[in-house]
C-alpha cells in the first residue's frame, strides 16, 4: 500500500501486509518518494500516490502530484526504489484550471480513441473542482480532454458543494462507473459509458456518519478484489487529521444478519422509585430494521442495587449512577447494544433533560463557527457549572455553543429552565431550544453597567432589566401556539415569539453570530407540558406586590401606607421569632382589605390577590 499525507512535507510512503485486512507494517525507510529530488523538482509536498504495474516494462509506474498543478511519474522494479521519469500532465494541458492533481491511472481502451491507459484527475476550475480525462498508449505520453467529463451538481437529493475529486474507475457487470468524493463529505458514483461521454449521477454509495472515525468526511478510495470479496481502502476524517479505513463487500446471506442494537431513554436522569421504558431498535447489515419479536433480548445493569432492567423497563431503587445495556440474539448472532449511563436522584426530576453540569462532556457537545479559535473563546468545566466564552464579534461563522441534540422531542407545550450569570461585558449570551422548526431563545446581556434579558440580540421586542452578573433562574414556558412566557426567579416578565428555523432539534447555550458571550450556566432542565413557577410568598414578595398595585393606583392612599405598616410589623415580629404576633399582623392586614369603608381605595382584583397571598403566608408560618 502506498500513501502520503497531503500536508507539507508530504512524501510517498509504503506499508505492507500478508492479507488485505492487515495487519499493515510501515516500511522502515519511508518515504520512498521524497518532496525534494534535485535536479528534477523541489516542492512543498508530494502526495496522492497511485501505482499501476506495466507488464511491457516489467515496472511499477507511480503517479503522484507535487505541487498541485503538476502530476508526475516515477518508476520502480522492486516497488521500493524509484527513478523519477517526468511530469506527465500540468495545468497547461486543460482549459482554465489552477490544479491538476489526485490522478488515478487504469488500463482501459476507450473504443473511440484506441488507447491503452486512461487517467482520471481533478482540475480546479475557478474554485470548482471537476473531473478531467487523459489517455495514453504507454503511460508516459498523454493526450487530454481539455474540458471536464464530470462536474459537481446539486439536486433535491444531494449537493456536491461545488467540488468533486478522487476519481476512481470502477467497471462492473459490463457498465462503466467512476467513483468520486464531494465537498459535502460523502462518496458518489457516476456512470460514464464505454466512451466516457456520459455523466449519470446515481447518488452517494458511501455516506459519512459524522461520528468516529470519519467525523463527516470520507474520500480518496482504492479498490482491491480477492476472490469474491471487494476491499475498499479510503480516507476518513477532516483534512489535516485523516486516517486510512477499510470496508469490504459481504455476500447476500451475510447482509441479513444482525448488525447493531441501539437503546435509548427519554431522560438519562431518573427519579428514585420510578419505572421508565427503554426504547430499542435493531438493524440488519443491509440496513433494514429487525422485528424485535424475532430477537432474544437479555438485559443488564452494572449495579442492580441502583436500578434493574426487566422486560424493557428500568426500575430505579436507590440514588447513584448506573450503566444499562442489552444483548440481542438473532439466528445465533449476538450483538451488544450501546451503554446508557443513568443518574438516579431523590425528588422530582424533569422528564426530558435534568442537567446539573458536573461534567458537560458526557451529554453535550461543542459547536463553533469556522472563524472562531482557541484565541477567541473557550468552553470550560467548573465545579458544577459550565463556562462559555466567545469574544469574536464580527462577520459570519463567529458562533460558539454548548449543544445537545439527542433528547426526547416534545409535541405540544413544554418548559425549560436554566440558572445562569454573566461574567463580563457581552452582547449575546443565548440559551435556546429548537423543536420542530421553532426556536425559543433568550439572550442575557451586560454592557458593563446594566444588564438585561431579551428575546433578540438586536432590535429586541421584549427586554427586562436586571443585574445579570448575579445568578438568576430563568424559566421559559413554551405554549402550543409557539409563543413563550419568560419567568425570572419565579416572576413573570414577558411573552415572546418563536423564530422559524428549518434545522434539526437542538438545545444550545453560547454566542450567536455576531455576538459575544461570557457566562456560567449551572443547570439546564426541560420537561413536557406547562410548568408555571410556584411563587414563594414572603414579606418582600407582598411588599413588591403592594408597591406594584400602588404605582398603578389599584391601591390608593391612605390604605397603601396602612397595609405597608402591617407588613413592616409582621416582618419585625417574624424576624425576632415571634410567629404568633407576626400572624396577628397579617390577619389585621386582611381585615383592612375587607374594610367596607375603604373599598373605594382598592380594586377588586388587587384585593383578591393580596388577600390570597397573605393567607398563603399565614398558612406557611402556621406550619413552621
**Domains of the chain, each with CATH number or no CATH:** 2-249 (2.115.10.20), 255-349 (2.60.40.1080), 354-528 (2.60.120.200), 539-622 (no CATH)
Query: Which residue, 548, 588, 551, 596, is CA-closest to 569?
Result: 588
Beta-strand pair 229-236/218-226: antiparallel
CA distance readout (Å), 523 to 343, 378, 437, 576: 15, 19, 24, 35
Non-local CB neighbours of 435 within 8 Å, separated by 6+ positions: 409, 410, 414, 478, 505
| DSSP SS3 for 163 | strand
pLDDT: which is higher, 261 or 549 = 261
| DSSP SS3 for 67 | coil
User: What single-letter DSSP state applies at residue 12?
Assistant: B
pLDDT tens digits for range 107-143: 999 999 999 999 999 999 999 999 999 999 999 999 9
pLDDT tens digits for range 457-515: 778 889 999 999 999 999 999 999 889 999 998 889 999 999 998 888 999 999 988 88
What's the CA gap between 429 and 519, in Å, rounded? 7
Q: Is 408 exposed, middle or buried (0-12, 13-18, 19+ CB in 10 A)?
A: middle
Q: Which three cell numbers stand for residue 54?
A: 506495466
Non-local CB neighbours of 26 within 8 Å, separated by 6+ positions: 13, 14, 15
Beta-strand pair 128-136/142-144: antiparallel
Q: Which three cell numbers stand for residue 442?
A: 433568550
Is residue 174's pLDDT more than 80?
yes
Query: Which residue, 4, 170, 5, 141, is CA-closest to 61?
Result: 141
pLDDT tens digits for range 374-397: 999 999 999 999 999 999 988 788
Phi, psi of 521 (to 5 degrees): -125, 120
**Model confidence, pTM:** 0.53
What's the CA gap between 308 and 601, in Å, rounded? 63
Non-local CB neighbours of 11 within 8 Å, separated by 6+ positions: 4, 5, 30, 31, 33, 34, 35, 45, 46
pLDDT at res. 196:
97
- Average pLDDT of the chain, as a whole number: 93
Q: What is the dihedral of CA 611, 612, 616, 617, to 10 degrees?
A: -30
Amino acid at each position: 500500500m502506498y500513501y502520503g499525507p497531503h500536508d507539507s512535507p508530504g512524501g510517498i510512503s509504503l506499508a505492507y501486509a500478508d492479507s488485505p485486512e492487515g495487519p499493515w507494517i510501515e516500511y522502515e525507510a519511508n518515504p520512498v518518494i521524497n518532496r525534494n529530488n534535485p535536479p528534477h523538482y523541489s516542492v512543498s509536498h508530494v502526495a496522492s500516490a497511485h501505482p499501476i504495474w506495466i507488464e511491457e516494462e516489467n515496472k511499477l509506474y507511480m503517479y503522484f502530484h507535487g505541487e498541485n498543478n503538476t502530476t508526475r511519474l516515477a518508476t520502480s522494479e522492486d516497488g521500493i526504489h524509484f527513478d523519477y521519469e517526468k511530469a506527465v500532465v500540468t495545468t497547461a494541458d486543460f482549459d482554465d484550471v489552477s490544479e491538476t492533481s489526485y490522478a488515478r491511472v487504469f488500463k482501459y481502451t476507450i473504443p473511440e480513441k484506441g488507447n491503452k491507459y486512461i487517467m482520471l484527475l481533478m482540475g480546479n476550475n475557478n474554485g470548482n473542482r471537476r473531473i478531467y480525462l487523459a489517455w495514453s498508449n504507454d503511460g508516459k505520453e498523454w493526450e487530454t480532454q481539455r474540458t471536464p467529463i464530470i462536474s459537481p451538481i446539486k439536486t433535491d437529493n444531494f449537493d456536491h458543494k461545488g467540488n468533486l475529486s478522487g476519481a476512481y474507475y470502477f467497471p462492473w457487470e459490463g457498465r462503466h462507473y467512476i467513483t468520486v468524493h464531494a465537498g459535502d463529505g460523502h462518496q458518489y458514483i457516476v456512470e460514464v459509458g464505454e466512451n466516457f461521454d456520459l455523466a449519470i449521477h446515481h447518488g452517494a454509495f458511501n455516506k459519512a456518519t459524522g461520528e468516529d472515525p470519519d467525523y463527516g468526511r470520507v474520500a480518496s478510495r482504492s479498490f482491491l478484489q480477492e476472490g469474491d470479496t471487494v476491499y475498499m481502502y479510503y480516507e476518513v476524517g477532516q483534512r489535516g487529521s485523516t486516517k486510512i479505513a477499510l470496508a469490504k463487500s459481504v455476500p447476500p446471506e451475510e447482509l441479513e444478519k444482525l448488525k447493531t442494537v441501539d437503546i435509548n431513554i427519554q431522560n438519562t436522569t431518573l427519579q428514585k422509585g420510578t419505572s421508565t421504558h427503554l426504547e430499542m431498535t435493531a438493524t440488519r447489515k443491509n440496513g433494514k430494521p429487525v422485528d424485535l419479536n424475532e430477537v432474544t433480548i437479555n438485559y443488564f445493569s452494572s449495579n442492580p442495587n441502583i436500578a434493574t432492567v426487566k422486560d424493557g423497563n428500568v426500575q430505579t431503587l436507590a440514588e447513584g449512577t448506573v450503566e444499562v445495556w442489552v444483548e440481542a440474539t438473532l439466528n445465533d448472532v449476538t450483538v451488544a447494544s450501546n451503554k446508557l449511563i443513568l443518574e438516579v436522584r431523590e425528588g422530582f426530576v424533569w422528564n426530558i433533560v435534568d442537567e446539573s453540569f458536573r461534567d458537560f462532556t458526557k451529554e453535550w457537545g461543542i459547536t463553533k463557527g469556522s472563524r472562531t479559535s482557541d484565541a477567541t473563546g473557550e468552553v470550560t468545566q467548573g465545579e458544577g457549572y459550565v463556562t462559555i466564552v466567545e469574544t469574536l464579534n464580527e462577520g459570519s461563522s463567529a458562533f460558539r455553543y454548548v449543544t445537545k441534540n439527542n433528547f426526547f422531542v416534545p409535541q405540544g407545550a413544554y418548559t425549560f429552565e436554566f440558572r445562569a450569570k454573566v461574567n463580563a461585558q457581552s452582547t449575546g449570551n443565548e440559551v435556546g431550544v429548537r423543536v420542530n422548526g421553532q426556536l425559543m431563545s433568550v439572550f442575557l446581556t451586560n454592557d458593563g453597567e446594566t444588564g438585561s434579558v431579551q428575546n433578540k440580540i438586536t432590535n429586541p421586542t421584549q427586554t427586562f432589566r436586571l443585574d445579570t452578573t448575579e445568578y438568576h433562574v430563568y424559566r421559559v414556558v413554551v405554549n402550543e401556539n409557539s409563543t413563550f412566557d419568560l419567568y425570572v426567579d419565579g416572576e413573570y416578565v414577558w411573552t415572546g415569539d418563536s423564530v422559524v428555523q428549518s434545522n434539526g432539534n437542538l438545545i444550545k447555550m453560547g454566542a450567536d453570530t455576531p455576538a459575544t458571550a461570557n457566562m456560567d450556566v449551572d443547570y439546564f432542565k426541560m420537561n413536557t407540558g406547562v410548568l408555571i413557577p410556584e411563587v414563594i410568598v414572603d414579606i418582600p414578595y407582598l411588599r413588591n406586590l403592594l408597591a406594584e398595585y400602588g404605582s398603578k393606583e389599584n391601591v390608593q392612599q391612605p390604605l397603601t401606607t396602612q397595609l405597608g405598616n402591617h407588613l413592616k410589623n409582621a416582618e419585625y415580629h417574624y424576624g425576632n421569632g415571634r410567629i404568633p404576633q407576626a400572624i396577628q399582623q397579617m390577619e389585621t392586614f386582611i381585615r383592612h382589605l375587607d374594610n367596607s369603608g375603604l373599598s373605594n381605595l382598592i380594586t377588586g382584583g388587587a384585593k383578591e390577590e393580596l388577600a390570597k397571598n397573605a393567607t398563603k403566608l399565614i398558612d406557611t408560618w402556621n406550619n413552621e
